[in-house]
Amino acid sequence: MEKILPGDSKSCSKVFFLFPPWISSDLRSHYLVSFYSFNLTSHMTLFLARGAVIKATLDTSSWPLIDALPSYGRGRELPGGRYMSLIHGNGIHDVIITGENGTIDGQGEVWWNMWRQRTLPFTRPNILELMHSKDIIISNVVFQNSPFWNIHPVYCSNVVVRNVTVLAPYDSPNTDGIDPDSSLNVCIEDCYISTGDDLVAVKSGWDEYGMAYARPSSGITIRRLTGSSPFAGIAVGSETSGGVENVLVESIHIYNTGIGIHIKTNSGRGGYIRNITVSGVNLSNVRKALRIAGDVGDHPDDMYNPNALPIVNGLTIKDVWGVDIQQPGSIDGIKNSPFTGVCLSNVKLNGDGTREVPWKCADVSGGALGVQPSPCTELTSISGLSFCTNAI
């Protein structure tokens, strides 16, 4: 992966600089380019110099449409196709998006208002979507005001997102930060994200379409991330029908957020969530520190099979510290498919000091060591404690 270095033009046959070298630095802050949507090609660098801005046009009427993702079967918001991302790549490789913290602005307000007013004809565009692509580096760029999700690598492999800032207003709908989706070997590190939805959400397809396409997300690393959101800091799901496994989350700071860690699925999803490790998490002013739930998310249509139950196994949450935590958390499995192998270790969550709010658990087994407030009884059996000791 590191054979391509950001800014190294020798690695690429095509290099695109937003500014010619003769444009002085004092003029760069007044220089921007507006786009409907454009495609990347293989072997290229998109470089945004300091002060550079790529802006999406405000004219939504001429925005191009593309087919629904096969693992979703339809647009995520509405039936039919979907609007193409502002920056799009399909089947490309050896691509770098980098710079001197230049900005890519999705100008999402017009799209958010259409969503609020229920006048959207199709699913909103992302800022950046890469499909069926590999060997990608995204670094030292600011993404802001996405109409929908910000960075969406789907059916990709060998993707690095590093030193990226993602911004959207707290009340902007569905503005997820980074959503690796049915992708392999993705590293997200040293990023700051503050948006209106999950900061990072690992996905792999939606109900019967995701099960049929069968492309898991695996080998996902998320580390040294800071941010806030009204929803989740780090999420897995809820679209996990192709399977999600081998996810490592470490050294995370989440503040002023709805849920710190949210692992979510639903009956009808099928698939699996397994071998997830979360460690070294600092939480501040968070409504609920941890939620693992089997009743989250809607369905694409009436064709889903409600008996397609997900398998959730092997979740380790350790070394978590929280202050001003309203609720420690809940773990609610599915009656006919209980969540198994859940380990909580060295999890210390402090509220406002007036009262201790208990954990809530159902249809789950595993163990808990060094957890405050005291864990639910489902995680305190002798066999569960033995399992948890071995797991960590």
Strand partners, 94: none
Has 190 been annotated as catalytic?
no
Angle value at C-alpha 315, between 309 and 319, nearest 5 degrees: 155
Nearest-angstrom CA–CA distance, 240 and 251: 24
Strands 157-162 and 184-194: parallel
Residue from 94, 135, 179, 197 carrying the catalytic annotation: 197
Nearest-angstrom CA–CA distance, 234 and 237: 10
How remote is the C-alpha of 308 from its chain's centroid? 24
Tokens linked to 150: 């910000």
Cα four-point dihedral sign 108, 110, 115, 120 = negative
Nearest-angstrom CA–CA distance, 189 and 11: 23
Nearest-angstrom CA–CA distance, 166 and 194: 6
Residue in the block written with tokens 């081998």: 246
Nearest in space to 332 (alpha carbons), one of 296, 298, 357, 363: 363
Residues noted as catalytic = 197
